[in-house]
Structure 1
Amino acid sequence: MYKHIPIFLLCLQVAAVMAQQKVPAKPRILISTDIGGTDPDDNQSMAHLLMYSDKFNIEGLVSSPSYGNGSKEEILRMIDLYEKDLPHLKKHQKDLLSPEHLRSVTKQGVRGNAPYRGYRSATEGSNWIIQCAKKTSDQPLWILGWGGLEDLAQALHDAPEIQDRIRIYWIGGPNKKWSANSYAYIADNFPDLWFIEVNSSYYGFFSKKEALDSIKPTNYYSKHIEGAGYLGKDFISYYQGEVKMGDTPSLLYMMDGNPDDPTRESWGGSFENFTRSSRIVFNRVSNITDSVAFCTLVEFNLKGPKLNIPTDSVCFIMETAYGNSVQRWPGYYLGDGKYGLKYSPKQAETLAYRFTSAIPDLNFGEGKLVVTNLWPGKVNSTDYILGKNWYTDRGGAHLYEGKIQGGKTVSKWTHEILADWGKRWNWLKK
């Protein structure tokens, strides 16, 4: 009998800790999304958000496409589908948000990435971020970033006082590539933000490893979504119905546990504090002997002729291979014969690139860069120094999902998450 007492006491201690966690019933959230752009996973995540809208106080749906043709019209189209399905959903969950409210908080943000300085001019979206952040509330405004950081950077530039009223969960990775200038502005000027930078863990959500047959991303549509209302009919348009939803972990993080503690385990991942964001500055074209961690902010500061063109104007390009295509990254004139370009590699690889320009003296040549698979990597003297409330993917080797750093902090919950969502899809089949 007595040998069971330590286990009993341990259970009491665990229960006490869990009871102490403050879990907001409906956290305040604002979504910044590039929906309608090049990656249709935002549409999948938007369907998930709408079907779980009873879990949140949604204060903003901002279209922020740093790359591609995303627009608020695509958000409104998704809301229209949701409105058609709402009568069936409300039979099971009466607290789902009204389409009228969702349309009223849908705003257009910046289109295209910011120039070298990291911001451009105010938009409907950036102004809405400021307005929501300044509301009187006993909760912070959580900004869930599914795309670029341009509207957030603009809002912070225009109203820096909001930094103490907001918290950010940002899906970085590829988005950091397109939003490197705005990221650099935020990290350099607002190191005391509460910021969760998720560069890789989110991949664990749609990893195919160790998935049970009934909830595998590849067959989830046929088993759970097919025939489920207007949202279900629309879902097949994205990846032929295969579940990706790389932005959904931001929602899952807010749905499960205590969002004030990023180090806890949650459906949306578990993160560790980091006090420096990797940044390296090259005053030359890099070569095969140079290496950086993936998602490092790589900055090229190069010298050339003094030109009579506006500062912060695009005057040269860095080209990189992407599959069978070429991606192009803008380089800027910084004045006084100085030229700059910021870039962030999203994965481990040997990156080959070349600089080109219509101005012959700005053809800086070709280079290479070895990108390693552990973020944030080695310490550099040029790193951004961060405050105490920045968090990122856990680096332990045991938490890698294949090559995905921190992936297991999300993938371990996939069965539970998709099974729960499957119940809501079933509501639309009756």
Structure 2
Amino acid sequence: MMKKIIHLLIITCSIIGIKAQKSIAEKPRILISTDIGGTDPDDNQSMTHLLMYADKFNIEGLVSSPSFGDGSKEEIVKMINLYEKDLPKLKKHSSGFPSPSYLRSISKQGLRGNAPFEGFSKSTEGSEWIVKSARKKSAQPLWVLVWGGLEDVAQALHDAPDIKNKIKIYWIGGPNKKWSANSYSYLVKNFPDLWFIEVNSTYYSFFSKNDDPNILKSTEYYDHYIKGYGAMGKDFKNYYNGEVKMGDSPSLFYLMNGNPEDPTGESWGGSFEKIKYSPNIIVDGIKGTSDDIAFCSLIEFHFKGPLLKENSGKVPFYMETMHKKDIQKWPGSYLGDGNYALKYAPKATETLNYKFVSDIPELNNHEGKLNIVNLWPGKQHNTDYPLGNTWFTDQSDPALFEGKYQGGKTIVKWKNDILLDWAKRWEWLK
């Protein structure tokens, strides 16, 4: 009798073990939100990389979310068309590649441009698809990998807060946070318990210049491993002349190698730490501030002015900033009762010179500068947004900086592994 019990226990444990192995081997469910086709062609490179590894994931959505620039669903479809040409060769090595018709069917158009001060506006085809995908019955979470702005993610959560515990987000922030400050503010204020990896700096080190002779050079990779290989390889030369940027791909790397349930562990997509607050600094629009401000902090400029008719649709004032040789204009908002405000998130260490322009005399021609420092999230303020236990961000340990990039060493150490693994797939297209 005892032998039978032991035998049954062994069989039961074996079945459990098999189930556990099967669960670990399951393809992650992913949805990509991208500003592809906008001002930065690195999204095209990342889309090529994604499609070449499409057999490793259950891709449930490809959403165009151009908070800045002219990104569109059509640009996603253009990349799928290239993938279709190379698919016969890819399928010789793996049977798991999705059909081009399926990928086109899950490509959706999201919001074009920024969300207003509130952080949300109206639902889009893209935000509705996020909701639909998140609500699918599954034992797995939906990994929402955000390569651009957060507008459609914020809209989806506004419209369907029940999806909060069904999604896990890896966001390439940094410059995207500058364009998406309103939507980001809405999320940290209303959904502080989201499962969220906010990457403002770590990802830079994957494509930044590095003098280590043992690390593959992004400028040389095309000639050595891509040139002459397939329709996607030919197209790759159109982006940065073939130099590998792929600033959004770390979101995918994260799911390719490592334990994605533990952001603090080692992974190809970086290693992260918990963050308890998101800095939110209130600045008097007339007086400014002399305090040092951490890059990627939310800054709210506030003004007092005349009473206006609300919802007039007219932008009451703009903030102008200089970016290289271009002047960028950021629209302000009227909040009612003579209160005006604007949200901004500086993307890098700098002395930020700004100027407000308006037809309203009380708001016009105020100038100032902010000193932006290179350590996120920086010191705490009583106006910061508290966060829950599942918000993660770049490692703050100075030993893990790669040059000026906070947390950079947690990803650059894997660069060779990532690129050499990809090189094997380029060989498939020979």
With the length of structure 1 as denominator, give the TM-score of the two structures: 0.93
SS of corresponding position for 2:342: strand
Deviations 1:183-212 (A, max 9, x none): 000000001100000000000111221454
Distance of 1:48 and 1:78 partners within structure 2 = 11
Which deviates the most, 361-370 or 112-121? 361-370
1:233 alignment counterpart: 234
Q: Which moved more, 1:113-122 or 1:280-289?
A: 280-289
Partner of 1:125: 126
SS of equivalent residue, structure 2 residue 282:
strand
Partners of 2:306 and 2:360 lie apart in 1 by 10
The residue correspondences of 1:166-177 to structure 2 (distance < 5 A) are: 166-177=167-178
Q: How is 1:221-370 mapped onto 2 (pairs within 5 angstroms)? A: 221-285=222-286, 287=288, 289-310=290-311, 314-370=315-371
Task: For 1:81, give the aligned amino acid.
Answer: L
Tell me the percent identity. 64
Q: Which residue of 2 aligns with 1:108?
A: 109
* Residue aligning to 2:379: 378
Confirm or deny that 1:99 pairs with 2:100. Answer: yes
Aligned twin of 1:70: 71
C-alpha displacement at 1:88, in angstroms?
1.0
CA distance in 1: counterparts of 2:262 and 2:403, whole angstroms: 26
Match of 2:32 in 1: 31
Instruction: Tell me how far 1:48 sits from its aligned partner.
Output: 0.2
Question: Does the 8 A contact of 1:21 with 1:258 survive in 2?
Answer: no
Q: Give the structure 2 partner of residue 89 of structure 1.
A: 90
1-side partners of 2:410 and 2:314: how far apart? 42
Query: Which TM-score applies when normalising by structure 2?
Result: 0.93
Distance 1:275 1:338 in 2: 30
Going from structure 1 to structure 2, the CA distance change for 1:128 and 1:294 (only over 3 Å counts) comes to: same
Q: Partners in 2 of 1:376 and 1:311 — Cα distance?
A: 36
- Whole-Å Cα distance in 2 between the matches of residues 270 and 21 of structure 1? 25
Q: 1:397-416 counterparts in 2 under 5 A?
A: 397-416=398-417
Matched-pair contact (CA < 8 Å) for 2:303–2:363: no
Q: Is the 8 A contact 1:123 1:151 kept in 2?
A: yes
Instruction: Tell me by how many angstroms 1:213 deviates.
Output: 6.8
Q: Write the distance in 2 (CA, Å) between the matches of 1:213 and 1:387.
A: 40
Preserved CA contact (<8 Å) 2:301 2:342: yes
Structure 1 Cα separation of the partners of residues 418 and 52 of structure 2:
13
- Residue of structure 2 equivalent to 1:181: 182
Unaligned runs of 5+ in 2: 1-19
CA distance in 2: counterparts of 1:197 and 1:112, whole angstroms: 21
Q: 1:271 touches 1:393 (CA, 8 Å); kept in 2?
A: yes
- CA separation in 2, counterparts of 1:263 and 1:22? 21
How many residue pairs end up in the alignment? 411
Are residues 183 and 214 of structure 1, via their aligned partners in 2, closer, same or farther at CA, if it must alter by over 3 Å?
Answer: closer
Alignment-derived partner of residue 11 in structure 1: none
Contact kept in structure 1, 2:205 and 2:405, CA below 8 Å:
yes
Consecutive unaligned residues of structure 1, counting only runs of 5 or more, are 1-18
Of 286-295 and 137-146, deviating more is: 286-295
Tell me how far 1:228 sits from its aligned partner: 0.8
